Structure 1
Amino acid sequence: MAEPKQNTNVNCTEKEMKHTCTNFHNAIEFIGKRWMGAVIYALLKGPKRYHEIISSIPGISDRLLTERLRDLENEGLVVKKIITTSPKKVEYELTPIGKELEEVVKILIKWVIRRGDAQGVEKVQ
């Protein structure tokens, strides 16, 4: 007689687990897009204008920064504020939900640094 499958989380049905796995995968794919983490990191210190963001991320193109900011806006993680001065200014700021990623980003940075140390990678000064 075959042994029944054991559920490691007794409070979670197979359907709920599949839903959680799908959502987790989607979140990782979103955050893992090229330059996404750098854009989020740049905005953790507060609102920034486009030129401030692009100058803080060496190597990112205008097209990719625009795309990432749009992705973040569409997901409700960033708000684009138009300041009606002369000349008009635009700022990007993390929403409260976007700011919740701070802990995740900082933990990933620590993990990358520890991993680099463990692999004997030189630290960049």
Structure 2
Amino acid sequence: MSSETDHEVCGMSVAIDVVGGKWKLHLMWALEAGPQRFGRLRKLLTGVSEKVLAENLRQLEAGGVVHREVFAEIPPRVEYSLTPLGEELRLALRPLEQWGDRHRRRLLDNLASAG
């Protein structure tokens, strides 16, 4: 009997661990436009708390998807951007976004009638 974990069997499990949760995919979208400062990300993602935003950025950084750059200025400036790995992931997620756009009305109607 094999002792393989889900991560060893399915790449989808690893990918979901990297981008899972409510805000990580939204962060990927926000960083698509290029480097962003924390305050700008907070404005783009209405409804996210500073704590949750910081946690999600740290997790994406730990996953190698986001780069955090601190500029030696006074006051210090920090920018977040996608790494090459993050950019590749963003491109891989593009078809999912397009699918959602194509089926938006039906999906929203289905969710509304189920709730």
Global fold match (TM > 0.5) = yes
Change over 3 Å in CA distance of 1:114–1:81 after alignment to 2:
same
Work out which structure has the larger RCO, using CA pairs closer than 8 Å and 6 or more positions apart in sequence.
Answer: 2
Look at both structures and tell me which one has the larger radius of gyration over its CA atoms: 1
SS for the counterpart of 1:87 is coil
Q: Which residue of 1 aligns with 2:69?
A: 81
- Aligned structure 1 segments of 4 or more residues deviating by more than 4 angstroms: none
**Which amino acid is the alignment partner of residue 73 of structure 2?**
T
Change over 3 Å in CA distance of 1:22–1:83 after alignment to 2:
same
Of residues 8, 16, 35 in structure 2, which corresponds to 1:28?
Answer: 16
Structure 2: gaps of 5 or more residues:
110-115
Q: How does 1:1-125 map to 2 (within 5 A)?
A: 21-119=9-107, 121=109
Contact 1:41–1:105 (Cα < 8 Å) also in 2: no
Report the Cα offset of residue 58 of structure 1: 1.1
Separation of aligned partners in 1, 2:108 and 2:67 = 40
Q: Equivalent pairs: percent with the same residue?
A: 32
Q: Which has the higher helix share?
A: 2
Report the Cα offset of residue 19 of structure 1: 5.9
**Which amino acid is the alignment partner of residue 104 of structure 2?**
G
Provide TM-score, normalisation by structure 2.
Answer: 0.79
Provide TM-score, normalisation by structure 1.
Answer: 0.73
Q: Deviations over 1:67-95 (max 9, x none)?
A: 11000111111111111112110111111
Q: Deviations over 1:32-86 (max 9, x none)?
A: 2121100111111111100011111111111111011000111111111111112
